[in-house]
Structure 1
Amino acid sequence: MNAVAVGPLDLTACVDDALDVQARAFGLSVEEQRVRRGIVLRHLAVPGALSFGATADDGRLVGFVYGVPCDRNQWWSTVVEPYLMRNEHDDWLDDAFTITELHVLPSHQRLGLGRALITGLTDLVDNPRTLLSAIDTESPARSLYRSLGYRDLARRVRFPSAARPYAVMGAPLPLLRLPQASGATGN
C-alpha cells in the first residue's frame, strides 16, 4: 500500500475526485454524483467551510472530509431540528460545526484515515462542538464516531429521498484521541 498524507484539501479543485471516492465508498450512481457535485460546491461557498483530504503518494485522493459551521437555516438543520427538539437537544444546532461528508475508499478503510481526517479537520474549528448524521445502523462508521466522543442525539431521522433512517450524533471539541502505545506514532 502506498503512503498516504492527510491534510488540508482544496476540495473545490478536486470535487470530481472526491465524488468518485464517495461513490465507491457509499455507492452513488452517476446521476447522484452529478446532483451532489452542485451541493458540495454550494457548501464550500459557505463562510467557514473546511475540507481535509487523504492523498496517496501517487497523487490519488483516497479519502476526504468536509464541513461547515451549523446554521439553523441550512437545509440539513431544518430537517434534523424537530428530531433534536423531541430529545431536547436542539441547542446543539447553535455554535456547532457540522461534518457534512466523510468518506474513505474501501481499499483504505480501517487504517485510521477516517479518524485522522475528522480530527484534523475539527482541530481547525473554533466551535465548541460538532454534529454529523450517519445511517442509523451499527456500522464501522458509527463505532468510529463513538470512539471520538460522538453520542446519539436523535435516531430514526428521515431525510427526504433517503431510503434508510439516520442518526444525528454530536460531540464536544476537541474530539477524543485514542491512547497511544509507548513508542507509537501516527494514527
Structure 2
Amino acid sequence: MARLPGDRTRNPEHLTIGPLDLAARVDEALEVQAIAFGIGAEEVAVRRHIVLRHLECPGARALGATTPTGRLAGFVYGMPNNRGHWWSTVVESYLRAQGNDDWLDGSFVITELHVHPAYQGRGAGRGLITALTDTCGLDRSILSAIDTDSPARRLYRSLGYTDLARQVLFPSAPRPYAVMGAPLPLPRS
C-alpha cells in the first residue's frame, strides 16, 4: 500500500478529522485527489480554480483528515446546492427524467471527497462525509459518483445514498456518473 511521505502509520484511528482551510491547503488537497482519483497535472490545474471558486459560495465548508504529522490524508467539501451552479444545470434534466429534480432544492452537495489510497477502506471517508453533513443545516444531501460498482459507491450506499439518476454525462468526463441522494443525518455503522 502507498504511504504518505514522512508518516509511519496508515491507521485512520490516528487521523484527526476537523475543519480545513481548503483555500490555504488546496495544492495539498489536490495532490491527494490526483493520487486517489488518478488525474494528471493539467486536470489538477483546472480543478484548483474550480475549488477556489466553490469556496466563495455561501455555506461552503471543508473538512480534512490529517495525520499526527499534520499531513492531509483526505478531505471533503461541499455547499448548499444552487440550481444556477454548473453541476446542477448538467444533472437537472437527468433528475427531472426520473422525477427527482426536487433534490436540487434544499440539499447539501458533497462536491469532492477523496482519501489517499493508504487510508482508504478504513473509515476515513465515512468520518469525513458524516462530520460534514452533520452540521450542514439541511435535511438531505446529494452527490455524483462514477456510475460503476466501486468502493466509493458502496460507501455512499452504506450511508443511505440511493440512485436518483444514472448514466449522467458531464462534458469532457470520459465515464458516466450517477447522482445519489440521502436524507440527513447519515446513518452510523
TM-score (norm 2): 0.93
Name the Cα RMSD after superposition. 0.6
The answer on 1:63 being equivalent to 2:74 is yes
Equivalent residue of 1:81, what SS?
helix
Instruction: Give distance in 2, aligned partners of 1:108 and 1:78.
Output: 33
Equivalent of residue 141 in structure 1, options 117, 135, 152: 152
* Aligned equivalents of 1:12, 1:131: Cα separation in 2: 23
Q: Does 1:31 align with 2:56?
A: no
**Which secondary structure state, in structure 1, belongs to the residue aligned with residue 182 of structure 2?**
strand
CA-to-aligned-CA distance 1:113-148 (integer Å, 9 cap, x gap): 000000000011111100000000000100000010
Secondary structure of the residue that 2:137 maps to in structure 1?
A: coil
Q: Does 1:171 align with 2:174?
A: no
* Code of the aligned partner of 1:172: P
What is the rounded CA distance, in whole Å, between the counterparts of 1:95 and 1:5 in structure 2?
29
Amino acid at match of 1:23: A
How many angstroms does 1:54 deviate by? 0.3
Give the Cα–Cα distance (whole angstroms) in 1 for the partners of residues 67 and 135 of structure 2: 22
Amino acid at match of 2:101: D
Which residue identity does 2:138 align to in structure 1? N
| Residue 92, structure 1, aligned to residue 103, structure 2 | yes
- Is 2:125 the partner of 1:114? yes
In the aligned structure 2, how far is the partner of 1:105 from the partner of 1:125? 24
Q: With structure 1 as the length reference, what TM-score do the two structures score?
A: 0.94
Residues 63-82 of structure 1: per-residue CA shift (max 9 Å, x gap):
00000110000000000000
Q: Secondary structure at the match of 2:66?
A: strand
Query: Which sections of structure 1, spanning at least 5 residues, go unmatched?
Result: 179-187
Query: Is there any run of 5+ residues in structure 2 with no aligned partner, and where?
Result: 1-8
- Looking at structure 2, the residues matched to 32 and 8 of structure 1 have their Cα atoms a distance apart, in angstroms, of 25
Find runs of 4+ consecutive structure 1 residues off by over 2 angstroms. Answer: none
Corresponding letter in the other structure for 2:145? A
Taking the aligned partners of 1:84 and 1:147, their CA distance within structure 2 comes to: 22
Residue 92 of structure 1: SS of its match in structure 2?
helix
Q: Distance in 1 between matches of 2:38 and 2:72?
A: 17
Distance in 1 between the 2:159 and 2:188 partners? 7
